[in-house]
Amino acid sequence: MKSIKLFLFVFILMTVFSITAYADGGWRRDSRGWWYDRGDGGWPNGVWQWIDGNSDGYAECYYFDDSGYCKLDTVYDGYQLNSSGMWTVNDQVQTRYIGDAIDHFKNPGRTVLEGTLKVMSYDEVISTLGGGFDPTPDYEPAHRRKYAIFYLDGIHIINIMSGDGDNCFLEDIDKLYLPGLREGAKYNNQRVKISFNFRRAVTPTDMEVPVGIARALDAYVIE
């Protein structure tokens, strides 16, 4: 009985420390190199990533290989990376201001944004948002669908997931497509507040309508 209690105690400690590590996030190093703990149990892999490591409001750009390790002091895909892994041009570290970004890892939970909701037909989306490009001209269900497009009050920087859910990106967005929104017509052309979970918000695609607009899959209007 004592050994069982000891096992359970150790297991609980391990669980608590694992959760704490994920909650804190940040740079990590092991025998293979440096990697970045996103704080949600995941890490960037096979991707370029802007990271504000010192919380000064400016992010530096790094490349992480398919195993999740940061490339250091090399040229990758034509871009120079210094000994810290930062992208440089003529020895100058390139930065991006993200001080106003909505950081979903440091502030978990649902995101609330305010803007104007517009419900459009397929043809309206193609002409207004797609520049006339129609990626699915023969897919009849898409033509019958109504599209709820949420226009934000200006450009916002938000964390958003890749389509496969493996990576998270910073995106400048001024609109969102809300494919799961019910009763969208009820709020057409009205100012509303929406709530969504960023883990259900995915990067834009050029394979389906609306082209090039991020999607918040579980958004709803706050009454």
pTM of the model: 0.67
- Written as six digits, the tokens of 38 are 């996103």
Taking alpha carbons only, the member of 13, 221, 8 closest to residue 117 is 221
The b-or-e profile of 17-44 (16+ CB within 10 A means b, else e) is eeeeeeeebeeeeeeebbbbbbbeebbb
* CATH for the stretch 2-97: 2.10.270.10
3-state secondary structure 136-200: CCCCHHHHHCCEEEEEEEEEEEEEEECCCCCCEEEEEEEEEECCCCCCHHHHCCEEEEEEEEHHH
- pLDDT score, position 105: 58
- pLDDT score, position 8: 38
pLDDT tens digits, the chain, 223 residues: what are they? 444 443 333 333 333 322 222 235 789 999 999 999 887 778 899 989 888 888 888 889 999 999 999 999 999 999 999 999 999 999 999 998 877 666 665 556 688 889 999 999 999 999 988 778 888 888 888 888 899 999 998 888 887 788 777 777 778 889 999 998 888 889 999 999 998 888 788 887 778 888 889 999 899 999 7
- pLDDT score, position 107: 58
- pLDDT score, position 101: 67
Q: Would you list the domain boundaries of the chain?
A: 2-97, 110-221
- pLDDT score, position 112: 85
- pLDDT score, position 103: 61
- pLDDT score, position 186: 92
Q: Count the alpha carbons within 13 Å of 59 in the hemisphere toward its beta carbon.
A: 17
105-108: Cβ within 8 A, 24+ apart: 105/25, 105/38, 105/39, 105/40, 105/159, 105/168, 106/25, 106/39, 108/40
